[in-house]
Structure 1
Amino acid sequence: MIRNFYKSLLALAVVVTISFSNAFAQDSTATAAAPAGGGDAAKGEQLFKGNCAQCHAANSEQIVGPGLAGIESRRDLAWLKKWINNPMGVVASGDKYAVDLFNRFNKTQMTAFPNFTDDDVKSIVAYVNQVNAAPATDPNKGPVTTTAASDTGSGKFVNVILIALLVIMGLVLIALLGILQLLNKLSGKTGGAAPSTSFGEKFQTGLKDVFANRTVRIAITWVFILLATKATFDGLYGIGVHQGYAPKQPISFSHKLHAGEMKINCAYCHTGVYKGKQSGIPSANICMNCHNTIKRESPEIQKIYTAIETNKPIEWVRVHNLPDLAYFNHAQHTNVGGLECKDCHGDIEKMEVVQQRSTLTMGWCVDCHRKTEVNGKDNAYYDKLMEAHSAVSKGSMKVEDIGGLECARCHY
């Protein structure tokens, strides 16, 4: 009987898992966006974000130039291609629409893209149409993508699986209590008393029998001691570690927008990242290189204007902060070592609010020095070091092999 029960329970688990997997697959298929007609919208998105997004919005919002929503109804594809390939040439030809557009936007010259083909233009238009055909969203957040839908479906799927597992665990617990009651009867512990028919009484009796067992009590005590000890040591090791720290800044600056969507290189704002000890905090003048024309009326941009007019620096809150006893040089790691910003700071281009992703502890740094290979190619400084290392080892030369684990490297 018990064997048949467990077979049924296993079959139920398999059926539940398969059912929810099929439901998840159908939900993912339903949320996938169909390609836009007249052009490759996916290709258009890449072209738009790489070349157009700095000055144009895919919706009707005006940035440096006009928003592109409904552009296909205003101009045909042939005119758009001429304009994108050589905008000033179209203005010089006397085209009324082009001249009016040029004058309306303070005679700001649009960058020419002579290599854009008919297919490229169609793809950009398809992407713009796809964005504006999507359900209304906050324009600052951009279009809804299939990735977000997939993530949501995945989250629902995980929740359903967890609920199913909890139900199965409950059934297993009931089965174990039933087996315990059966064993008690067989061993004569019931003393010939009438069997209890109440589920609550059975449950209470089963729990009492379990906790009355000396071995069970000792095991629970040791589990509690081990968990308490682990929590204590985790707390001690966590002193001074600020992983996950994401303070509120005086200006809501989005790295996701600037470094991610706009593809602005980190060194454009953090000018010392490849040539100095500090990466540097950008001055308000660097912001004004773009924002003297882009979104000037934004409340956040007005904070920059106020800082310039009052001659007061913007009080940015530092996120990544090493103790004074540790020496760190950005140029040594980014320029010489060839590390990327995300190796230490995480996916900055995906962060709306910057947070500390790595622990930045000594153990974390030492572990990196043990694993990172030294790139000595085309660098005469490392020639003799590489030769000496090859004489004693067949493996690649790591940072630890050139003194990367010496205390004085970081503490002096």
Structure 2
Amino acid sequence: MISCILKTQSKILYTFLLALVVSFGAFAQASEQAEVAQKGVDPGATEGAEVTTGDPAVISAGEALFKNNCAVCHSAGSDVIVGPGLQGVTKKRSESWLISWTKNSQALIQSGDADAVAIYNEFNKQAMPSFAFSDDEIKSIFAYIDSGKGAVSAPVAGPEGAVAGENVGTDAVGAIGGYLDIVLVVLIIVLIVLVVTLLLITSLLKNYLNKNRQLNEYDAEVVNQRFDFSKVYKSNAVRTLVVLIFVVVLLDLTIEKTMGIGIQQGYAPKQPIAFSHKLHAGEHQIDCNYCHTTVYESKSASIPSANICMNCHSQVKTESAEIQKIYRAIERNEPIQWVRIHNLPDLAYFNHSQHTQVGGVECQTCHGPIQEMDVVYQYSPLTMGWCIDCHRETPLNTEGNGYYDKLVELHESSSKGAFTVSSNGGSECSKCHY
């Protein structure tokens, strides 16, 4: 009878412990889902207006030209950067005037054109570079601007007077996650109290039975049984298991450290000037190609010169302590000593243009969310295995390219998989080591 009572109490105790674990897992999962939902809401994101006029191909071409050449000084909306925002400019100026201004703004100013002179004076006589674009290319840029794809949406009233971008939805999801955390903590406390109470009841019951009951030999053994820990750690099986675990952990750490030699994933050195990609590439949406001028044309992506910085910072934030470092470098005719982050060994050959121009690989594929980094760090491991895996998994776009016709035909006759970089010899040693 007594043994049944104690066993029942033990079952109750185990049940509560199990409930504690299950509840913790359930609420942790709910909190995680709430956090994922919160991260999925992008309150700062704005959708451009639908394209209502113009050829989509022309607008797309204009978008590329605008981002590569114009976005550093102008927004496609109404925001002023270095120059004025271009939203609605085609309604203010004639097409011929815009073409003339884009091709050679200084010539238009010197001709005495009233609008050109007024703009020049309004923006501190900052000269706009001349562009050797064709008329059609310039028209495509303004078609992109007119499409509204690059414009920032106007604030829209939200709950209780809030406007878009104020994290209303995010805060609501965050509040739900906060309530779940509170409920989880309360539940854990309640379960702990119940477990402690059960342990106290068990202890009191044992004392009561020992003092006030005549117990037979079996019941007395059940009530007063003790767990002998010495038998556990003296057991050969336990000792063998502990040694085995120690050896496996040590071996795993050794292999991990050995395989990590030369891998600098996460490396984020301090740079001589605090340059933020999050600010420039993220908030201001300056195209990578504007600063890294040879990323589509050369083996190297190139390090931006101080002159590129001065295209903006001769007018913008000129008094900033970090910008003054650029001025001093120019005055002393010394290069800025940027610290290299992504550095492949000399035995490996890598060509940026082959990947970005020919392969159409986005910068983020290798460099990660560079537009979100205040301090740039090495996002990918850049190991040989990582590169080969990419070559094995990345299909080649062979449509309309006669060079690949016979290769694709031969591949399809012997394999059912996609025609990848490896299918074209991208896994051969001589591709990267020669």
% identical equivalent positions: 43
Unpaired segments ≥5 residues, structure 2? 1-7, 51-66, 98-113, 129-140, 204-216
Between the aligned partners of 2:377 and 2:363, the Cα distance in structure 1 is 13
Confirm whether residue 374 of structure 1 aligns to residue 382 of structure 2. no
Between the aligned partners of 1:339 and 1:216, the Cα distance in structure 2 is 54
Confirm whether residue 126 of structure 1 aligns to residue 155 of structure 2. yes
Measured against aligned partners, the alpha-carbon deviations of 1:140-180 in whole angstroms (never above 9, x if no partner) come to xxx764687589779979987997999899899999x99xx
Superposed CA RMSD in Å reads: 5.6
Aligned partner of 2:256 in structure 1 is: 234
Q: Note closer, same or farther for the CA distance 1:152–1:192 as it changes in structure 2 (3 Å cut).
A: same
Between the aligned partners of 2:293 and 2:230, the Cα distance in structure 1 is 69
* Matches for 1:264-283 after TM superposition, within 5 Å: 264-283=286-305
Counterpart amino acid of 2:347? L
Between the aligned partners of 2:408 and 2:29, the Cα distance in structure 1 is 56
Confirm whether residue 324 of structure 1 aligns to residue 346 of structure 2. yes
Query: With structure 2 as the length reference, what TM-score do the two structures score?
Result: 0.63
Counterpart amino acid of 1:297? E
Aligned partner of 1:299 in structure 2 is: 321
Query: With structure 1 as the length reference, what TM-score do the two structures score?
Result: 0.66
Structure of greater relative contact order (alpha carbons < 8 Å, 6+ residues apart): 2
Secondary structure of 2:381's match? coil
Give the superposition deviation at 1:402.
Answer: 2.1
Give the superposition deviation at 1:311.
Answer: 0.7
Counterpart amino acid of 2:353? A
Between the aligned partners of 1:318 and 1:333, the Cα distance in structure 2 is 20
Which has the greater radius of gyration? 2
Counterpart amino acid of 2:332? T
Give the superposition deviation at 1:313.
Answer: 0.5
Aligned partner of 1:362 in structure 2 is: 384
Measured against aligned partners, the alpha-carbon deviations of 1:170-227 in whole angstroms (never above 9, x if no partner) come to 899999x99xx9xxxxxx999969949xxxxx7xx56444323332222122111101
Aligned with residue 15 of structure 2, among 7, 13, 17: 7
Aligned with residue 288 of structure 1, among 276, 300, 310: 310
Aligned partner of 1:392 in structure 2 is: 414
Between the aligned partners of 1:160 and 1:233, the Cα distance in structure 2 is 42
Between the aligned partners of 1:33 and 1:330, the Cα distance in structure 2 is 32
Measured against aligned partners, the alpha-carbon deviations of 1:86-129 in whole angstroms (never above 9, x if no partner) come to 3899xxxx9xxxx999856436699x989999x99x985527x9
Confirm whether residue 106 of structure 1 aligns to residue 114 of structure 2. no
Between the aligned partners of 1:231 and 1:215, the Cα distance in structure 2 is 24
Aligned with residue 259 of structure 1, among 281, 293, 300: 281
Unpaired segments ≥5 residues, structure 1? 36-40, 69-80, 135-142, 182-187, 197-201
Between the aligned partners of 1:306 and 1:167, the Cα distance in structure 2 is 61
Q: Note closer, same or farther for the CA distance 1:375–1:34 as it changes in structure 2 (3 Å cut).
A: closer
Between the aligned partners of 2:398 and 2:275, the Cα distance in structure 1 is 38
Aligned with residue 212 of structure 1, among 214, 234, 240: 234
Aligned with residue 86 of structure 1, among 70, 85, 92: 92
Between the aligned partners of 1:211 and 1:172, the Cα distance in structure 2 is 31
Confirm whether residue 314 of structure 1 aligns to residue 336 of structure 2. yes
Counterpart amino acid of 1:86? K
2:72–2:312 CA contact under 8 A, matched in 1: no
Aligned partner of 2:57 in structure 1 is: none
Counterpart amino acid of 1:390? E
1:249–1:316 CA contact under 8 A, matched in 2: yes
Counterpart amino acid of 2:401? N
